[in-house]
């Protein structure tokens, strides 16, 4: 009996030690800040890619549903042949930036690592695989149950390990940098404490004095898809103050603009940056990241800021002002569904899970619509200002040479806003079928096939996509005409 008690005590001690040792993997510190190194837009090779045709693609959240829809759009872009700069290329080869959140981050991350291999490998690696069931199996392994008892190791850490081993083959951002090719792929999570977007690019990690090179793509994808409730936030250590990083001059100026109300968006961005580099009483030693869809379920926030600010790591506005961009294409892949209304058929008070889910998703659906409208208005205003100045100059010139206005005319840009969303399916029965697909990491094979097909179809049916193809003298995928 004494022997059995001793064994049990020894086993308990082992379990407690194992739980105590379990922790999130540390993100490496950055030895020295270097703006000319790391995963940055301006460090990627353009190759044959042209800035004159600038294409941004965003992938929304929505689990496997979003991943399959996004993958279908990627297939369509690959199969769309265009003539640009005296050469025939696929439209996918001209994509400059992909911004993603949650479920859309899985195809984005895989493409960042392996490029065109995604079309041969990703369906079996991820889309058709019962990811959710596989994760549950990992969760209930005795070894992992013990590790999960640790306060600094959660379900998303376990998911990241699974993705790293089974999906991304151990790939890190160092491997992405070795490829060194556009598109610049931005996986977005949410800073849980501030509710702001956190992007997996070196410009963001500079604030933490952390080296993105050593971070696995799997961990970025896990952070981007850490759906509140089902998965836990992921933790990253803040090494701020250890790499001689200096905030750009605009940050200090913007942080002082509270009372002036000159540019509240810029002021908010400055405060976000300062919150990560504060070395005083407000220092944040650890940053907790949750699902990117909490801050922006379309993945459009970063592109929108790039269009409206010259103080941005990859400012499209600056490129437009420099007359580098002639045609601007933004393709939004939105896998959003309708909010559930079954609760409205009963007087019963909604439960905790239902309430939390609604609080996390319903406001975002409304915000997503506003984001799209703001995106369209931004480019429209840019071109309207260009036309207004040009008109004033022409009118002044008619009054005589002495009235000529020496005002630089902003460069007009052809704008192609393209939306792929279930909302644009004409048949109501088909539309409702897609809108009622669950947000999970596991769907039937037949549903995956339909999602891939509808992604290709909705892209080809978009009127602005057709205008783009005409402007580029290209051909649609699956079209009858020869390319």
CA distance 470 to 478: 16
Q: What are phi and psi of 444, to 5 degrees?
A: -60, 150
The answer, yes or no, to whether residue 11 has pLDDT greater than 50, is: no
The span from the CA of 168 to the CA of 410, in Å, is 44
Q: pTM of the prediction?
A: 0.88
Distance between start and end Cα atoms, the chain: 82
The mean predicted confidence, pLDDT, of the chain is 86
pLDDT value, residue 327: 92
pLDDT at 482: 47
Assess if residue 278 is contained within a domain.
Answer: no
- Write down the pLDDT at residue 368: 56
At 155-194, the pLDDT tens digits run 999 999 999 999 999 999 999 999 999 999 999 999 999 9
Cα separation, 483 vs 340, whole angstroms:
44
What digits encode the pLDDT tens for the residues 94-113? 999 999 999 999 999 999 99
Average pLDDT over residues 211-217: 97
- Dihedral (CA of 110, 115, 117, 119) sign: positive
What's the rounded Cα separation, in Å, for the pair 322 and 320?
5
Average of per-residue pLDDT across 208-218: 97
Distances (CA, A) of 242 to 46, 245, 383: 32, 8, 44
Q: Which domain holds residue 77?
A: 22-240+284-339+359-475
In a domain, 394, yes or no: yes
Placement of tokens 């079954």 in the chain: 342
Residue with tokens 């961990």: 219
Structurally, how many domains does the chain consist of?
A: 1
Distance CA 369, CA 353 (A): 25
* Residue 26 placed within a domain: yes
Q: Which of 197, 199, 202 is nearest to 213 (CA)?
A: 202
**251 part of a folded domain:** no
Assign residue 289 a region (left: φ > 0; alpha: ψ between -120 and 50; beta: otherwise). beta
**CA separation for the pair 248, 395 (Å, rounded):** 41
* Domain-located, residue 252: no
- Does 464 reside within a domain? yes
| Any domain includes 274 | no
Which range, of 279-283, 293-297, 300-304, 380-384, averages the lowest pLDDT?
A: 380-384
pLDDT score at 466: 95
Q: For the chain, give the percent of residues with pLDDT over 70.
A: 83
Name the least confident of 175-184, 209-218, 220-229, 472-481.
Answer: 472-481
Measured CA to CA, the distance from residue 192 to residue 417 in angstroms comes to 31
The pLDDT confidence band at residue 354, using thresholds 50, 70 and 90, is low
Give the pLDDT confidence score for residue 363 in this predicted structure.
46
pLDDT over 80 (residue 17): no
pLDDT at 7: 52
pLDDT at 1: 53
Q: Flag whether 5 is in a domain.
A: no
CATH code at position 377 = 3.40.1090
Model confidence at 405, pLDDT cuts 50, 70, 90, reads low
* Residue 187 near residue 193, CB atoms below 8 Å: no
């Amino acid at each position: 009996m004494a022997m059995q008690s001793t064994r049990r005590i020894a086993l308990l001690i082992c379990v407690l030690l194992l739980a105590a040792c379990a922790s999130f993997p540390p993100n490496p510190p950055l030895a020295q800040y270097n703006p000319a190194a790391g995963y940055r837009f301006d460090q990627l090779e353009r190759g044959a890619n042209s800035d004159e045709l600038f294409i941004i693609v965003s992938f929304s959240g929505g689990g496997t549903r979003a991943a399959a829809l996004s993958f279908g759009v990627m297939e369509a872009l690959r199969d769309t042949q265009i003539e640009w700069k005296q050469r025939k290329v696929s439209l996918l080869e001209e994509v400059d930036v992909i911004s993603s959140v949650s479920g859309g981050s899985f195809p984005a991350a895989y493409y960042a690592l392996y490029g065109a291999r995604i079309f041969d490998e990703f369906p079996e690696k991820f889309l058709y695989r019962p990811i959710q069931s596989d994760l549950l199996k990992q969760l209930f392994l005795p070894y992992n149950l013990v590790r999960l008892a640790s306060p600094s190791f959660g379900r998303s850490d376990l998911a990241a390990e699974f993705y790293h081993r089974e999906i991304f083959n151990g790939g890190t951002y160092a491997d992405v940098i070795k490829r060194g090719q556009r598109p610049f792929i931005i996986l977005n999570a949410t800073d849980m404490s501030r509710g702001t977007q956190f992007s997996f690019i070196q410009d963001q990690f500079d604030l933490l004095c952390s080296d993105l090179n050593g971070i696995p793509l799997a961990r970025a994808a896990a952070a981007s898809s850490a759906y509140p409730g089902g998965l836990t936030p992921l933790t990253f250590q803040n090494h701020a103050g250890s790499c001689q990083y200096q905030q750009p001059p605009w940050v200090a100026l913007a942080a002082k603009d509270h009372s002036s109300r000159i540019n509240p968006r810029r002021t908010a961005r400055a405060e976000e940056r300062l919150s990560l580099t504060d070395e005083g009483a407000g220092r944040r030693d650890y940053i907790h990241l949750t699902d990117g869809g909490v801050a922006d379920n379309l993945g459009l926030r970063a592109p929108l800021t790039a269009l409206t600010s010259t103080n941005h790591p990859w400012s499209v506005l600056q490129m437009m002002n420099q007359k580098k961009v002639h045609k601007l294409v933004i393709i939004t892949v939105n896998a959003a569904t309708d909010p559930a209304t079954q609760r409205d058929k009963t007087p019963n008070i909604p439960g905790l899970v239902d309430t939390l889910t609604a609080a996390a998703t319903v406001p975002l659906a409304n915000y997503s619509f506003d984001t799209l409208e703001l995106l369209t208005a931004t480019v429209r205003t840019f071109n309207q200002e260009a036309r207004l100045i040009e008109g004033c100059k022409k009118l002044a010139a008619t009054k005589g040479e002495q009235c000529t206005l020496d005002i630089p005319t902003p460069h007009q840009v052809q704008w192609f806003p393209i939306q792929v969303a279930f909302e644009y399916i004409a048949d109501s029965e088909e539309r409702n079928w897609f809108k009622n697909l669950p947000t999970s990491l596991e769907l039937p094979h037949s549903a995956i096939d339909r999602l891939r097909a509808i992604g290709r179809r909705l892209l080809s049916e978009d009127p602005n996509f057709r205008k783009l193809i005409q402007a580029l003298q290209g051909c649609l995928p699956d079209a009858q005409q020869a390319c």
